[in-house]
């Protein structure tokens, strides 16, 4: 988990799925008696955006996370002002339905 942005209004965290959880210990495969490493079944990353003003958060994964990653890539090329970042993040607040209980 990496904190990408923290302001008075928003927090953005990049969450890496299965980070540090890869289990490379051999296990017995009953059908062939061979040893195989354990592989995670779902390795998806996402972004959590917390709107501090409303006390709600949204978790972006799948295609939403891919679109947000494209935005981050664009910001790396052309560094935006804080106002520009806040305006883009504010666009995601309509998706935020989950109240933040503990953070």
What is residue 102's predicted lDDT score, i.e. its pLDDT? 57
- Write down the pTM of the prediction: 0.71
What is residue 87's predicted lDDT score, i.e. its pLDDT? 95
Question: Could you tell me which residues are beta bridge partners of residue 28?
Answer: 35
Q: What percent of the chain has pLDDT over 70?
A: 72
What lies within 8 Å, CB to CB, of 16 at 6+ separation is 1, 2, 45
What lies within 8 Å, CB to CB, of 73 at 6+ separation is none
**pLDDT tens digits, residue range 30-64?**
455 555 556 555 567 899 999 999 999 999 999 99
Return the top range by mean pLDDT from 5-9, 23-27, 53-57: 5-9
């Amino acid at each position: 988990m990496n904190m990408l942005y923290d302001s008075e209004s928003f927090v953005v965290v990049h969450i890496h799925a299965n980070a540090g959880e890869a289990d490379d210990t051999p296990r017995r495969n009953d059908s062939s008696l061979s040893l195989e490493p354990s592989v995670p079944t779902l390795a998806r990353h996402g972004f959590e955006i917390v709107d501090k003003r409303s006390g709600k958060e949204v978790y972006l994964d799948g295609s939403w996370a891919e679109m947000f990653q494209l935005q981050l890539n664009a910001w790396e090329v052309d560094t935006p002002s804080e106002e520009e970042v806040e305006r883009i993040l504010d666009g995601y607040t309509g998706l935020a339905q989950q109240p933040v209980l503990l953070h």
